Structure 1
Amino acid sequence: MSKFRLLLACLGTILLLAGCTSLAYNRLDWLIPWYVDGYVDLTSEQRKLLRNKLTSPLDWHRQEELANYIDILNSIEADLDGEVTAETVRRWADEMFDAAVRVQRSLLAVALEFGTQVSDEQVEEFVVSLWERHEEMEEELRARSYAEYTDDDYDSLVETLQRFLGRLSVEQKAILREASNKLVRFDKAWLDEGRAWLKKMENLLQREAGWQEAIMQAYDARASLRSAEYRAAFEHNMGLVTQAYAEVIGKMSEKQRKKAQNEFDDLRRMLTRLMDDD
């Protein structure tokens, strides 16, 4: 997965909820421990403890973050009534990215607190699982040719817009194809950064004195420590993607505009319902 697709990754926060039933959202305190079990075997008592520790951040998410998602949707919808530029699209991405980071940070705090309740053997199992998944992903991504790389990114760009606009025109797809063909390959820089992050986490998870604070500080500093190569590729690709999205949006048909309106209305209703399910 190429990190230049910040916009796509951040849209995932809202798109995930779009496909999330009230039942699933209301059972996240059970689903998250189940997900963690995919990395490390937890005892029944540990799963119960983790569910209890999730109560506060999940309440915060329902009471505050869902309302923020509605604000983001309202802001995007208002922008669609005027001229949409690359800067407009980048602002959308930044707002959604900030929302995603808030969620990540709240769950990291839970993980660090819960980390005092697991054994050294479980920590080792967790780290091994992280490395295995990273190496599987690395093998898959590095094996791609440049043509496959740009095709994958083109498909992601098209699929995301079609989620909101419906079928794109030949002209709109051509804009996205042209942008995809100009992307610089970014998966190596992203994978290298991920590998460096895992090495840092592996060391900090020796759980020496102050380890929890050290991990949180490392998380907060992670973006500022990325390489010049990473930053340059990221900004180059984001510039291409946001400009392409702005051009495609500028060529929306009336049918696509109505489709977007209906999607936004459905998302707002769904988010409001989840807020009221408390």
Structure 2
Amino acid sequence: MPLRNLPGLPGRVMLVLLVAAIAVGGCTLQFAYSRLDWIVPWYLRDYVTLDAGQRVALDARLTARLDWHCRTHVPEYAVTLREAQALLAGDTVEAAALEPFLARGEAWWGEVLAALEPDARVLLAGLANEQVDELRQAFARKQREVREEFQDGSDAARIARMEKRLQRWFGRMTPAQRERIAAWSAALSPTTEAWLEQRARWQGALLDALQVRRDQAAFAARLAPLLTPQQAYWPEAYREGVARNRALTLALLADVFNLAPEAQRARLNRELDALAGQFESLACAAPARLSAALGR
């Protein structure tokens, strides 16, 4: 359930989305990890054809990073999901009660970005000119694909996407829930175009930084700001729109839960329980086991 697709929410914020997803029934373990695909050191092979030596280096760094992630964050995911399960065992939930989960996810995301910076710096510095050109073309192609995916910004399309995501975890929406989703959609600030612009800005800045990748000090200085949370670089209007839509979405998630009949709540609890169990079984697992569980 990629909430990154919601208008006004920052794209590809995997850990934040994991926590936000708690409110609507969690997500799959594969999703929780795979949303790092915009961070080049993990998914570089999605954008660039690597040679044998680069593949070995990438796999070695991925194994080390999964080990770090397993030891530092995976146990916290399980605890957070159990806390959410307890919160949602009550009759009602307030949007304000969901906010700390989102803040916790944002903190995790910042830690992941900081941990990935050395990997990104080493792997990107080793790209050949032809690979940088390939990366530029891949960025342009994926940007076109994303734009096509979200070019229909109508209320009907947005409502349909949200209902589909919620139904995966709650089951069929009730008339009252559908009415609430429609009200949410109508109230959102339009931010999709600004999100696409910020995505293109980040990609362009990375490509510019790669022009000095042979100069270690200069490249490190150019790359480091790109692997930090990007809100500080957003235009004020976009930042305000994101904040407003985030609040509206948390309110929607709380209301959908509060309107949920018993059968929906039971289904949600089962999904949360299963997801927490997956993380509990992986906590402190060996890197090879974690990689296998993620389909690597």
Whether these two folds match at TM > 0.5 is: yes
CA separation of 1:34/1:215 partners in 2, compared to 1, >3 Å: closer, same or farther? closer
Residues 248/188 of structure 1: CA separation in 2 closer, same or farther (3 Å cut): same
Alpha-carbon distance in 2 for matches of 1:227, 1:270? 39
Q: Deviations over 1:118-153 (max 9, x none)?
A: 222212321231123213423553x43x42xx3343
SS in 2 for 1:168: coil
Contact 1:189 1:229 in 2 (8 A): no
Structure 1 match to 2:187: 182
1:81 corresponding residue in structure 2: 89
**Cα distance in 1 between the residues matched to 2:160 and 2:105:** 21
- Alignment RMSD, CA only? 3.0
User: Measured at CA, do residues 211 and 56 of structure 1 come closer, stay the same or move farther in structure 2, by a change above 3 Å?
Assistant: same
Residue matched to 2:233: 225
Instruction: Please give the residue correspondences for 1:87-102 in structure 2 after superposition, counting only pairs within 5 Å.
Output: 87-102=96-111
Whole-angstrom distance in 1 between the partners of 2:42 and 2:233: 32
Query: How far off is 1:73 after superposition?
Result: 0.5
Letter of the 1:81 partner, please give it.
A
Shift of 1:74: 1.6
For the residues of structure 2 that align with 1:192 and 1:110, how far apart are their CA atoms? 26
Corresponding position: 1:46 with 2:54 = yes
Which residue pairs with 1:56 in the alignment? 64
Bigger share in helix: 1
Contiguous gaps of at least 5 residues in structure 1: none
Structure 1 window deviating more from structure 2 (222-231 vs 115-124): it is 115-124
TM-score of the superposed pair, with normalisation by structure 2: 0.78
Alpha-carbon displacement from aligned partner over 1:133-178 (angstroms, at most 9, x marks no partner):
213423553x43x42xx33432333233333322221111211111
Q: Summarize the alignment of residues 116-265 of structure 1 with structure 2, pairs less than 5 Å apart.
A: 116-141=125-150, 143-144=151-152, 146-147=153-154, 150-206=155-211, 207=213, 208=215, 209-220=217-228, 222-265=230-273
Take 2:242 and 2:256, find their aligned partners in 1: how far apart are those partners?
21
Give the conservation status (yes or no) of the 8 Å contact 2:8–2:189: no
Distance 1:65 1:79 in 2: 21
8 Å CA contact 1:33, 1:51 repeated in 2 = no
Match of 1:267 among 270, 275, 282: 275
Q: What amino acid maps onto 1:85 in structure 2? A: E
Note if 1:10 corresponds to 2:25: no
Alpha carbons 2:110, 2:228 under 8 Å: kept: no
* Distance 1:219-1:158 versus aligned 2 partners, 3 A rule: same
What corresponds to 1:36 in structure 2? 44
Distance 1:123 1:111 in 2: 14
CA displacement at 1:266 relative to structure 2: 1.0
Q: Give the letter for the 1:127 counterpart.
A: R
**In 1: Cα distance, 2:284 partner to 2:230 partner:** 36
Number of aligned residues: 266
For 1:60 and 1:122, locate their aligned partners in 2 and report how far apart those are by CA, in whole Å: 28
Percent identical among aligned pairs is: 24
Amino acid at match of 1:123: V
What one-letter code is carried by the residue in structure 2 that aligns with 1:176? I
- SS of structure 2 residue aligned to 1:205: helix
Deviation string 1:26-61 (CA, Å, 9 cap, x unpaired) is xx9xxx989532311111221011111222211011
Distance 1:159 1:102, change over 3 A: farther
Mapped partners of 1:33, 1:204: distance in 2: 15
Partner of 2:73: 65
Residues 103-112 or 182-191, more deviating: 103-112
Q: Matches of 1:156 and 1:264 in 2, distance apart?
A: 21
